[in-house]
Amino acid sequence: MTVRLGLGIDNGGTFTDAVIVDLDTKKIISKAKSPTTYDDLSVGILGAVDGALSGCDVDRSLIKLVGISTTLATNSILQGKGGHVGLIGIGWRPDPEWDLGASKMRFIKGGCDSVGRVLQSIDESELDDAIEEVTKEVDAVVVSGMFSVCNGHQEIRVRDAVRKKAGLPVLMGQSFTSELGIYERTVTAVLNGKLLPIINDFFDGIESSMRAREITGRIFVFKGDGGMMSISHAREVPIEMVLSGPAASLMGGKVLSGLDECWVIDMGGTSTDIACLDGGFPRLNMEGAMVGNWRTRVKGIDIWTCGLGGDSIIRLDKDRGLVVGPEKVMPLAIASVRYPGFKAKLEASKDLEHYTPVKADISRLTEKERTVYDFVKGHAPCSWFDMIMGLEGKAMVTSTLLESMRLRGLLMRTGLTPTDALHFLGKFRSGDVEASRVGMSLMSERMSEDAETLAKMILKLMVTRVGEELLKKALVDSGSKLDGGGAFHKLLRGATGHESVGGYNIKMSPGRPIVGIGAPAKEFILPLRERIDGDVVVPEGHDVGNALGAVCSEVSEMFSAQVYARDDKYLVFSPMSSPSQYSRLEEAISSARAYTSSVVRDRIAKQDVEDVRIRVDVIEKKFPDGFGREMKFVNWVDVRALALARPRLR
């Protein structure tokens, strides 16, 4: 039997991982890590790829599949990067407070009502003027019509006119969702348009780099819903890459553990992600992913993310108790390697927090900010006191100014972290152990504890915090609001086995196994099994679980239709089609099932796949009454088709 290999790449917040795996046995053959390089992601990606390739002796022609999970789409949106997009709205006008993200906008007559009836025809002269106005100096155009998911013909008409007149990429709101919500639908399409030039440049580099390394396997890109898409499809809908990193860790946990029903907890240097597998499928957030302040209609996994990782800052609260996170800092052990002489500065100043520059766009800095940034760059790592003394008479360096520059990604602080605790206890080595010892000594003096006890307290607190975050997600999933009171935190601590509550043992029972993924999983997730009523598994290969998930998942396509009752009839609404009418609910649902199945089958076939399976879910939607109880009658029916398939390997 011919060996078929896969190359998985996960571009994470702290490190970029690469793994070479046997696609049939899922055995990891080689793996490597490289620091993520935010100014040019390809540097970190190729560093990890080259590390994995050099770690084994394989015929590169056997690498039949390359899977990529990247933060590029998410980070580009958060940082406001991307191309310029023109928007033509049909039959609606935005609320004054709406930020739709488009560079140029024009709103014309037209639109439909909620049952797909055309309210007003498009004025051809007005359309020509709109096209002329919004197509100048843009990279793409979005067309978004009122109730276009109920009748999409006007969007299609405008799309064809823009293509004919301007020759630009044109995106329709109905192409991204079948759900109502003109704001969310429009924002999703606009953000997709803004991503097109960035993603295409990135993929061009990836494809040329793979060819240069004699890797000719097909390239697939991970999506936020836990599936993959071909690189050609990803070039058209890069918005679906949002939240692909957490989704890859979830599927990596499934592959490594062999479990279809489990919680997956992925801890990295910056954050911890918690998600759930039901029957081998990730739970999805059907409301659409939030990216910064943007509410989109992108279907992503239902995930809980918190600022808890190996590089989270350790500090003292007002009662001199230990607190971890949420800020990410540079561990002392790492700072000492990156900046020779830092350990001596740490010992002399007795200040754990020093500032270092971060590569960023500094073109928009104020004169004072530029002065501070240049000083830090020339004297890194430097303390606040160093800046005050060094810039006396030139700039007043306030804590408010430094915090603003840190939050905008211009500066990063050093600090004591769980990574330093692991270095001190001999459980991990990637930096200067002596710098970690100095930091532990300084913090232990403030707590009147010895350094070793402090390090063990930090590890215990990290395990507790993981359990607390799992409980918080369960509470939010049940519809509860998180109360920040002391009794609430006491119960959380008790449930995670950190301490008893008035002599009572109230440890939690998660109801399904917990799978730990990420480099620190053995130290900060696995010990939970001694504290709770349930199994905790940290499988071999957990440190590259995300990269494994990126190449070991399946291609997926999802499409939905809705059935509504209107005047003793049942109407089926779906994008790219006109409403269809039926006299019986069963007939309408049957039609919707057939149509959605046909759409996902056709779409997934275009990505050159095999072993196609289709699942159709019928979900009845019932509004609650005034007392929160579910009413008996059905308001509408969602019919969702999901197609899964394996990439065809050549």
Mean pLDDT of the chain: 89
Name the band, by pLDDT with cuts 50, 70 and 90, for residue 573: confident
Name the band, by pLDDT with cuts 50, 70 and 90, for residue 507: confident
Cα(47)–Cα(549) distance, integer angstroms:
19
Among 18-27, 493-502, 594-603, which stretch is predicted with the lowest mean pLDDT?
493-502
Contacts of 23 (CB under 8 A, 6+ apart): 4, 5, 6, 64, 65, 551, 552, 649
Q: Is 209 helix (H, G, I), strand (E, B) or coil?
A: helix
Quote the pLDDT of residue 125: 94
Does the N-terminal peptide bond of residue 510 adopt cis geometry, omega within 30 degrees of 0? no
Quote the pLDDT of residue 246: 82
Query: For residue 239, which of 199, 207, 206, 182 has the smallest C-alpha distance?
Result: 199
Quote the pLDDT of residue 282: 83
Query: For residue 297, which of 149, 420, 438, 496 has the smallest C-alpha distance?
Result: 149
Mean pLDDT throughout 67-77? 86
Is the confidence at residue 287, as pLDDT, over 80? no
Quote the pLDDT of residue 500: 75
Is the confidence at residue 400, as pLDDT, over 80? yes
Is the confidence at residue 496, as pLDDT, over 90? no
Name the band, by pLDDT with cuts 50, 70 and 90, for residue 360: low
Cα(645)–Cα(227) distance, integer angstroms:
10
Quote the pLDDT of residue 479: 75
Name the band, by pLDDT with cuts 50, 70 and 90, for residue 355: very high
Q: Phi then psi for 430, rounded to 5 degrees?
A: -145, 5
Q: How many residues does the chain have?
A: 650
Say which amino acid occupies 274. Answer: I
Is the confidence at residue 365, as pLDDT, over 90? no
Quote the pLDDT of residue 622: 65
pLDDT digits (tens, 9 = 90+) for 251-282: 999 999 999 999 999 998 888 889 999 888 78
Which H or E run includes 232? Answer: helix 231-236
Among 158-172, 191-205, 619-633, which stretch is predicted with the lowest mean pLDDT?
619-633
Is the confidence at residue 108, as pLDDT, over 90? yes
Mean pLDDT throughout 79-108? 92
Is the confidence at residue 466, as pLDDT, over 90? yes
Is the confidence at residue 133, as pLDDT, over 70? yes
Q: Identify whether the C-beta of residue 571 lies closer than 8 Å to the C-beta of residue 579.
A: yes
Is the confidence at residue 368, as pLDDT, over 80? yes
Is the confidence at residue 632, as pLDDT, over 80? no
Q: Which residues pair with 272 in a beta bridge?
A: 267, 306
Q: Which two tokens stand for residue 235?
A: 């070039």
At residue 99's C-alpha, the angle toward residues 97 and 103, to 5°, is 135
Is the confidence at residue 626, as pLDDT, over 60? no
Q: Which residues pair with 85 in a beta bridge?
A: 140
Kindly report the three-state secondary structure assignment for every residue of 572-592: EECCCCCCEEECCHHHHHHHH
Query: For residue 591, which of 599, 600, 582 has the smallest C-alpha distance?
Result: 582
Quote the pLDDT of residue 157: 94
Quote the pLDDT of residue 71: 81
Quote the pLDDT of residue 624: 58
Q: Phi then psi for 86, rounded to 5 degrees?
A: -95, 150
How large is the C-alpha radius of gyration of the chain?
27
pLDDT digits (tens, 9 = 90+) for 534-552: 899 999 999 899 999 999 9
pLDDT digits (tens, 9 = 90+) for 9-63: 998 777 889 999 999 999 999 999 888 876 677 888 899 999 999 999 899 999 9
Environment class of 286 (CB within 10 Å of its CB; exposed 0-12, middle 13-18, buried 19+): middle
Mean pLDDT throughout 173-202? 91
Quote the pLDDT of residue 39: 67
Contacts of 511 (CB under 8 A, 6+ apart): 534
Q: Is 459 helix (H, G, I), strand (E, B) or coil?
A: helix
Q: Identify whether the C-beta of residue 372 lies closer than 8 Å to the C-beta of residue 405.
A: yes
Does the N-terminal peptide bond of residue 169 adopt cis geometry, omega within 30 degrees of 0? no
Cα(626)–Cα(403) distance, integer angstroms:
46
Domain ranges of the chain: 85-195, 313-453, 554-647
Is the confidence at residue 583, as pLDDT, over 80? yes
What is the DSSP track for 54-119? HTS---GGGEEEEEEEESHHHHHHHTT-S--EEEEEES----TT-----SEEEEES--B-TTS-B-
Kindly report the three-state secondary structure assignment for every residue of 340-394: CCHHHHHHHHCCCCCEEECCCCCCCCCHHHHHHHHHHHHHCCECHHHHHHHCCCC
Cα(260)–Cα(245) distance, integer angstroms:
19
Quote the pLDDT of residue 628: 52
CA torsion, points 583, 585, 588, 590, in degrees to nearest 10?
-130
Cα(171)–Cα(192) distance, integer angstroms:
8
Contacts of 582 (CB under 8 A, 6+ apart): 569, 570, 571, 572, 588, 591
pLDDT digits (tens, 9 = 90+) for 516-533: 998 899 999 999 999 888
Q: Identify whether the C-beta of residue 608 lies closer than 8 Å to the C-beta of residue 220.
A: no
Mean pLDDT throughout 508-519? 91
Q: Identify whether the C-beta of residue 147 lies closer than 8 Å to the C-beta of residue 180.
A: yes
271 Cα distance to chain centroid: 11
Is the confidence at residue 346, as pLDDT, over 90? yes
Q: Phi then psi for 307, rounded to 5 degrees?
A: -80, 75
Cα(244)–Cα(221) distance, integer angstroms:
9
CA atoms within 13 A on the CB side of 336: 23
Quote the pLDDT of residue 1: 62
Helix then strand count (H, E) for the chain reads 19, 30
CA atoms within 13 A on the CB side of 145: 31
Mean pLDDT throughout 616-638? 69
Spell out the alpha helix ranges (H) of 416-450: 418-424, 433-447
